[in-house]
Amino acid sequence: MNEIKELCICGNTLLWPEKTGTWLQNIIILDWYDGIMTMVCRCKVCRKPKLISVISWQPDVSSIRVFGVADLTPTAFEQVEVSGRQFMGPAQHDYKVFLADLFNDAPLPWAVVASANIGDTILRSKRLENIERLRPYEDAISSEAELSSWLSMLDIPKS
Ligand SMILES: [Zn+2]
């Protein structure tokens, strides 16, 4: 039986800069501020769930945001599918607690991606050790110098 398997690109971050939908699907946006701040999604091929959340941004300096990528267990993803939607809306305090718990329970991120609109296109990506644990976006607002160092690490020219 001839089986053509699609290539799973989870393991090769060099292949990520693409239209987001070519390798990620089931995107659930968990936090939004002039664009996606935090989302969960699955790899289109291997279906492994991921938590992607901003780790550095400064809208006065650049429209490009830097995100950390962490793996989620299938159970955690299912909980997010249920609870995330339930908390959206008026229960802001509960929702913040829900997000904080999600960040605390998730494993450490293992890659970074840069994008001006991560729901649409990924500009750059890099596998990286020693990224801090993901945090709510208020804690990810960066100084110009910090954001610039992320962008130069990802070979993005400062515009
Ligand atoms: Zn995959």
pLDDT digits 0-9 by tens, 135-152: 888 888 999 999 999 999
CA gap 95, 155 in Å, rounded: 35
pLDDT score for 137: 85
Number of neighbouring beta carbons within 10 Å of residue 3: 4
Cα-to-centroid distance, 104 and ligand 1 (Å): 23
Q: How far apart are CA 41 and CA 104, in angstroms?
A: 18
pLDDT at 1 over 70: no
Domain hosting 32: range is 18-153
Q: What is the pLDDT of residues 113-129, one digit of tens each?
A: 999 999 999 999 999 88
Inside any domain, residue 9: no
Which 8-state DSSP code applies to residue 33? S
Distances (CA, A) of 9 to 74, 102, 113: 19, 25, 14
Q: How many domains does the chain have?
A: 1
The Å distance, Cα 12 to ligand 1 centre, comes to 9
> Within a domain: residue 82?
yes
Whether residue 41 lies inside any domain: the answer is: yes
Whether 71 is covered by a domain: the verdict is: yes
- Mean pLDDT within 29-33: 89
- The confidence score (pLDDT) of residue 86 equals 61
Distance from the CA of 142 to the center of ligand 1, in angstroms?
Answer: 30
pLDDT of residue 24: 93
Structural element, H or E, at residue 104: helix 92-105
Cα-to-centroid distance, 44 and ligand 1 (Å): 7
